[in-house]
Structure 1
Amino acid sequence: MPRRTRLRACPIDQARNSLVIELAELAKTVSEQLTRAKAKTFGDVAAFVDLSAEEYKVKLGGKKGNLTLHSFDGRYKLQIATAESITFDERLQAAKELLDQCAADWSDGTREEVKIVLQNTFQTDREGNLSVGKILGLRRWAITDARWQAAMRAISESIQVIGSKQYIRFYERVGMTDRYVPIPLDMVAV
């Protein structure tokens, strides 16, 4: 990226430059500290879980799931949550076709609400992605139509886990209540 140069910078330009450089260096330092804190937290918690499992002569394997740890006095709570990235394979198209057949038969040309709900469920966002939550939400409906049941089976079988991310959250208890408030670690939240 080319540098903007002037023959002579005025005092406000120099002050802006100094401010931006100072704050960018601070941001880099904080970012590095957060990176180290994250690595330490994951490492220390994994070692603690292994230590705890050793008490029962159990060897845990594979990726750990969600976990909540409390301080002895209950003042602090640490949560590690794993969120999976889910997509669907080609079987989702078969499910959509079965659901479209159900909607066509059920609405019988009189009421279009069922079609609208299903169209909304399979609508993509600006990036062309489907809403995993909306699609999986269809499985909560207790509909006995054989085509619906086949579509739900196709949806279940089309789920592909393509990755996962782990999140660390810290909380502090509010006084002597059962309520915890998050300890914010992102700049937007503070």
Structure 2
Amino acid sequence: MSINISDKQFTEKNAPAGYWIDAKGVLTPEHLIKTIDKARDQLVGEIVVRAIELNKALAEFKIAGFGDVAAFVDLSANEYGVSVGGKKGNVTLPTYDGRYKIQRAMQDRIAFDERLQAAKALIDQCLSDWTEGASPEIHAIINRAFQTEKEGEVNTGAVLSLRRLDIADERWQQAMQAIGEAVQVVGSRAYIRVYERIGDSDQYRPIALDIAGV
């Protein structure tokens, strides 16, 4: 089986004619590079170029989508003589026949300030006193909530879920109040989601816009 391989290296670095440059910056004469290495370089390069083009198209889709939805929300509000400032807030727009719908979703990113440490100290006091009486499940839930993730931050959802535990200890109640007051909105993320109705049901499935979901 013959392979039509390009002798041109896929790289943004500058190398003298007749040489390829490796990841460490070392120059290698082109005739010493194996055909399979050239084929791999060419394959990766072709996929990367297509991925960059697709990434750019998705970015343009996102920008245009948010702009169009915001403009339509304003247009709809004008029908009633009001202004709603169409850049923020969740909104769902269906097609007339209901087969498709798009959603603009805004999701806040939250973090905890220094009061979380005070809450943790109070919870540690409770755990120390509960060694004999508390169930192992509660210990596990609490310990899991305060485990740091790869980014070095605690899981906000797990910490907030502690507030659902029905524990009457006054220190626990103070800790839950501290957790609530420690919540800070540090930013928001915006999404455009597209859905298609499943048959004639009232259920919708997302039209995936990420590689993993296709």
In structure 2, C-alpha distance between the alignment counterparts of 1:168 and 1:25, rounded to whole Å: 25
For residue 98 of structure 1, what is the amino acid of its counterpart? L
- What is the aligned partner in structure 2 of residue 89 from structure 1? 113
Structure scoring higher RCO (CA < 8 A, sep ≥ 6) equals: 1
Matched position secondary structure for 2:92:
strand
Kept in 2: contact 1:104–1:115 (CA 8 A): no
- What is the aligned partner in structure 2 of residue 19 from structure 1? 43
Matched position secondary structure for 1:188:
helix
Aligned length: 189
Are 1:50 and 2:74 matched, yes or no?
Answer: yes
Alignment of 1:1-190 (within 5 A): 3-4=21-22, 5-8=28-31, 12-61=36-85, 64-105=88-129, 107=130, 109-111=132-134, 113=136, 114-190=138-214
- Ranges in structure 2 where 5+ consecutive residues have no aligned partner: 1-12, 15-20, 23-27
| Higher mean displacement: 180-189 or 39-48 | 180-189
In structure 2, C-alpha distance between the alignment counterparts of 1:115 and 1:15, rounded to whole Å: 55
CA 1:162 to 1:78, structure 2 compared with 1: closer, same or farther past 3 Å?
Answer: same
Kept in 2: contact 1:89–1:160 (CA 8 A): yes
In structure 1, C-alpha distance between the alignment counterparts of 2:35 and 2:70, rounded to whole Å: 53
For residue 56 of structure 1, what is the amino acid of its counterpart? Y
In structure 2, C-alpha distance between the alignment counterparts of 1:180 and 1:173, rounded to whole Å: 4
In structure 2, C-alpha distance between the alignment counterparts of 1:123 and 1:20, rounded to whole Å: 38
In structure 1, C-alpha distance between the alignment counterparts of 2:47 and 2:179, rounded to whole Å: 49
Kept in 2: contact 1:78–1:168 (CA 8 A): yes
CA 1:181 to 1:116, structure 2 compared with 1: closer, same or farther past 3 Å?
Answer: closer
Normalising by structure 1, what TM-score? 0.86
What's the % identity of the aligned pairs? Answer: 50
- Offset of 1:49 from its aligned partner? 0.8
Deviating above 6 A after TM superposition, structure 1's stretches of 4 or more consecutive aligned residues are: none
In structure 1, C-alpha distance between the alignment counterparts of 2:133 and 2:72, rounded to whole Å: 61
Computed over aligned residues only, the root mean square deviation of the Cα atoms, in angstroms, reads 2.4
- Offset of 1:117 from its aligned partner? 2.8
Q: Deviations over 1:96-125 (max 9, x none)?
A: 1222223333x2535562334322221212
CA 1:21 to 1:128, structure 2 compared with 1: closer, same or farther past 3 Å?
Answer: closer
